[in-house]
Structure 1
């Protein structure tokens, strides 16, 4: 391909990305949604540091952080179901107002002496229970603004990349705020972000248009009642397992090489690989169906984990862990696309949330097991084992159901498995 041709293709791709962002109503919803979503990226660290500063105990801070995380995961599907039923403006605004209030009460509590430690965990639980599903809601806005196929894939890719960047920048920002002021101020900043960001998003025309079903959706429309969707969640559980082990194995490998300071760089390589993968995926106009894409991505991630487990030097391991990360965001995007295709519109916010819940559950389970395996057999074995698990779970991709869906004509061909 000539240089001029390459330049033309690059220009076309960049224009396409810009065209997605400049769709009527897109930025008006997307930018405030990012501000609101930054609260989740900042909240965990702000909560941990504020409770630790108040109690002087990392144990109490750990309990509070765990209460926040567990409550957030457990309540996620029900919060998403409320958004599908009552509409984005009503449900998200109620949740964001409640979470902002809980953050503020927690901030006041951490700044007060003599508070019983149990209250920190109670308030952290409320913070987790009321977290608005802004990521899933924004993907529903993207779905309403874009056409199925390449345009929607690019929109979901842009969304996923920006979310990755939030989790890089969020902790840095809230740490800087806390260092300059106090830990309780970090909680105030987080409360402000979730409230103003959500209010900005839900006041946009594209979000207001998603009014919800009002309870009209049938029970059979629920995502978990779709057999093919449950199998997609099984595949993404394997992807989450790789994520969880990678985040534990990277510091372990750095310590093994007497280079603890390299832990951050190894994790950055993993995150950078994930963001790069999302960017590349968004630029491709793949003709193969989403089911086959998910299978290929999960298999590739499993194989990359196996390869990384065999790399001895720190430099090679960094490249290997970046390769593992390369398939993370594309797998997540493909999961969203399949959910968009196979789950009825009345339950799509819930479906998108289940995609994230499956990934996070896999990561949590794998993280818990990874420490034990690494202590006994080394990081290489943990990566090898989780790579094999991902390969096995990739076989759960519901090729047959997706082909039937296409043959009935219920969805457009590029939104489901082809052939």
Structure 2
């Protein structure tokens, strides 16, 4: 665990983690608040809530690689300022829009989503050495899980006390403030000396070496499968507790789910070796399928612990491999497409999961989400056994004891 202390002693890394923690809280509260807003305020169905989520994720899928390439070419501030302005305007508009207008507004929110994930991964890959990258990415996952524990619970609290419309306005203003915080820090995203924007853009435009490969494509597929499983668990928890007429327990179940992921992320980062994302996704899918059998609040809370434990390691492993296989001057674009793999998975998964809840009940959410992740993992695993498609040998990124105290 001493590797985490090394990271925390670096003031640049520490400030970045603190900023990311507060920046993610409103973003992680938004999906649950939107679901409650559609189902309760607009008298919609879970399928309609899934449609809103799909519109947002499609927008993010388009915007993420575009914004990543802008970050590569123009730098953090010039690429992210439009997002800060957009979220401050769009969320308050969504709070008072009908369902017809909510869908295009959700698309625009996704298009201008503040790329917290991409910024963190790209900055950490520069601020820490290669041998500590898994530690840094795991620590970032832990920070994300801490935000996840607080975000949905805070969203439910605000909805309960002030209504979903007020919660959406608060999310928009909070995300804008968080974006301003990241702009103030302006973390380095490239290890080489900065060059003028125009010159850097010409250099990138002249770069002919492709960064995309079959190995990275499999990692994108695995990441999308992981997101489908997370959405299934997210919506399934809400649907089960509404069926049990105990929505007040949402915060408890989400806290245990996120807490298990936090523990999993800490242990994975401190472990002496990496694991294949394919193997982790397979375990994640298989542990998600039986969650829907829970018949009461405590059974549900205990059932989400194993799947939660595998969330952070699965996402961390995929990000670690993508960063290692991508050249630095194209990393922003690659991480942007990594974010797009999340959004494509969410765009496919959210309506399907919502429809399964409407048609067969809450248990269908966990069964379908876990099954999709399992099938994706098996396909990726089988394809990687073919000559030329398997992952390359991975460099040993374990940290020697003497390095931990440098």
Instruction: From the superposition, tell whether residues 171 and 227 of structure 1 become closer, same or farther in structure 2 (CA, over 3 Å).
Output: same
The answer to whether the Cα contact below 8 Å between 1:161 and 1:275 also exists between their aligned partners in 2 is yes
Larger radius of gyration: 1
User: What is the rounded CA distance, in whole Å, between the counterparts of 2:93 and 2:295 in structure 1?
Assistant: 48
Instruction: From the superposition, tell whether residues 211 and 48 of structure 1 become closer, same or farther in structure 2 (CA, over 3 Å).
Output: farther
| Residue of structure 1 aligned with 2:258, choices 252, 271, 287 | 271
Instruction: Confirm or deny that 1:243 pairs with 2:241.
Output: no
Q: Would you say how many aligned residue pairs link Structure 1 and Structure 2?
A: 382
Instruction: From the superposition, tell whether residues 153 and 222 of structure 1 become closer, same or farther in structure 2 (CA, over 3 Å).
Output: same
For residue 176 of structure 1, report the CA deviation from its aligned partner.
4.8
User: What is the rounded CA distance, in whole Å, between the counterparts of 2:329 and 2:111 in structure 1?
Assistant: 22
| Residue of structure 2 aligned with 1:330, choices 313, 316, 323 | 313
User: What is the rounded CA distance, in whole Å, between the counterparts of 2:337 and 2:18 in structure 1?
Assistant: 24
Instruction: From the superposition, tell whether residues 311 and 136 of structure 1 become closer, same or farther in structure 2 (CA, over 3 Å).
Output: same
User: What is the rounded CA distance, in whole Å, between the counterparts of 2:364 and 2:35 in structure 1?
Assistant: 31
Instruction: Confirm or deny that 1:80 pairs with 2:68.
Output: yes
Q: Deviations over 1:23-73 (max 9, x none)?
A: 253224433344444453456678899999xxx8577x9798765554233
Q: Which residue of 2 is the match for residue 350 of structure 1?
A: 333
Q: Which residue of 1 is the match for residue 279 of structure 2?
A: 296
User: What is the rounded CA distance, in whole Å, between the counterparts of 2:371 and 2:101 in structure 1?
Assistant: 43
Within a 5 Å distance, the mapping from 1:296-315 to structure 2 comes to 296-309=279-292, 314-315=297-298
Q: Which residue of 1 is the match for residue 122 of structure 2?
A: 140
Quick one: higher RCO (CA 8 Å, sep 6+), 1 or 2? Answer: 2
Q: Deviations over 1:215-266 (max 9, x none)?
A: 434676555x311111111222222222222223333444555655444433
For residue 392 of structure 1, report the CA deviation from its aligned partner.
2.8
User: What is the rounded CA distance, in whole Å, between the counterparts of 1:50 and 1:259 in structure 2?
Assistant: 17
The TM-score with structure 2 as length reference comes to 0.75
Instruction: Confirm or deny that 1:230 pairs with 2:217.
Output: yes
The answer to whether the Cα contact below 8 Å between 1:89 and 1:207 also exists between their aligned partners in 2 is no
For residue 334 of structure 1, report the CA deviation from its aligned partner.
0.3
Instruction: From the superposition, tell whether residues 31 and 246 of structure 1 become closer, same or farther in structure 2 (CA, over 3 Å).
Output: closer
The TM-score with structure 1 as length reference comes to 0.73
Instruction: Confirm or deny that 1:32 pairs with 2:14.
Output: no
The answer to whether the Cα contact below 8 Å between 1:277 and 1:330 also exists between their aligned partners in 2 is yes
SS where residue 262 of structure 2 aligns? helix
User: What is the rounded CA distance, in whole Å, between the counterparts of 1:183 and 1:255 in structure 2?
Assistant: 20
The answer to whether the Cα contact below 8 Å between 1:245 and 1:383 also exists between their aligned partners in 2 is yes
Instruction: Confirm or deny that 1:283 pairs with 2:264.
Output: no
Within a 5 Å distance, the mapping from 1:111-260 to structure 2 comes to 125-149=107-131, 151-170=132-151, 176=158, 179=162, 186=170, 189-190=173-174, 192-202=176-186, 204=187, 211=194, 213-217=200-204, 221=209, 223=211, 225-254=212-241, 259-260=246-247
User: What is the rounded CA distance, in whole Å, between the counterparts of 1:318 and 1:51 in structure 2?
Assistant: 25
Instruction: From the superposition, tell whether residues 141 and 173 of structure 1 become closer, same or farther in structure 2 (CA, over 3 Å).
Output: same
